[in-house]
Amino acid sequence: MDILETDAYDRRQRRNMSCALFLSLLPFFVASAVYFYLWTPDSPASIMSAGVKSAPTLLLALVVLSWNGAHSVLGVAGGLLFSAVGDCCLVWKELFLYGMGAFAVAHLLYSITFLTSRYATYSSSSLNRFLYLILFVAAVGFYVYMFPFLQKAPNSEVIIPAVGVYMLLIILMGSLAIKTRHAATLLGSLIFMASDMALALQIFKVMPHMEHGNTIVMVTYYLAQLLIAVGDVKAVENKDDFSKWKRS
């Protein structure tokens, strides 16, 4: 098989994989649509609302498990499962800290995954270091801006350090996503940060109530998780392409 035939075969394989992946993601799209159809601003906290909210994330975890195997429980699939736990906790305001803890574990699992050999790794460049610096400065600036509002929280003595640790973990996740240079993974991580910032601004009453505030948070959240999941499924494919480029 010559180079042209090999290239054509690889393109067919990628097309087939993309089609199969899209079909496996259909339940996620349906579950997301169901959530937005059923959710209303005055929806009471209940087991049903928690289940509907966490269903899209659980379905993404199943997709990653089906493509990457049981070992992904200690990676992105596990992160998605912890995210689903966080989704359920955030339905009840009194469980906010538990939800934040679940998402912190998810970010840690994502970070560990981005360091594994499944992702093609690149040497750190000046551009990467510049992006790391931007992330860090933006996060510190946001935390400083939020600090007066965190002090007003009922359990501020716990909230203030907890939010600080959480922000460090999500910055770590975003920095390692940059290092992979994988578009879906990087975009997913950055959108996740934007979603969390939008949520924090509303939870800690930094801004007045927004009519579509929850919609903004959940659309960006589901999109972020989708991109991270797709990035993980395609990580091996991209690594193989990187290996071929190095051998050529």
Query: How far apart, in whole angstroms, are the C-alpha atoms of residue 15 and residue 38?
Result: 35
- Looking at the predicted structure, is the pLDDT value of residue 53 above 70? yes
pLDDT tens readout for residues 140-149: 999 999 999 9
Q: What does the pLDDT read at residue 238? A: 53
- Here the tokens at position 83 are 């995210």
- Tell me the C-alpha distance between 111 and 75, whole Å: 8
What is the C-alpha to C-alpha distance for residues 169 and 153, in angstroms, rounded to an integer?
22
Q: Name the residue among 70, 80, 121, 124 with its Cα closest to residue 102.
A: 80
Query: pTM score > 0.75 for this model?
Result: yes
Lowest mean per-residue pLDDT among 41-50, 81-90, 203-212, 236-245: 236-245
The pLDDT of residue 215 is above 50: yes
Summarize pLDDT for 154-183 with one digit per residue, the tens: 889 999 999 999 999 999 999 999 888 889
Task: Decide which of 103 and 118 is more confident.
Answer: 103
Which segments of 39-125 does DSSP mark as H helices, in order?
47-68, 76-89, 96-114
Question: What average pLDDT does range 95-112 have in this prediction?
Answer: 96
Domain map of the chain by residue range? 3-247
> What is the overall mean pLDDT for the chain?
87
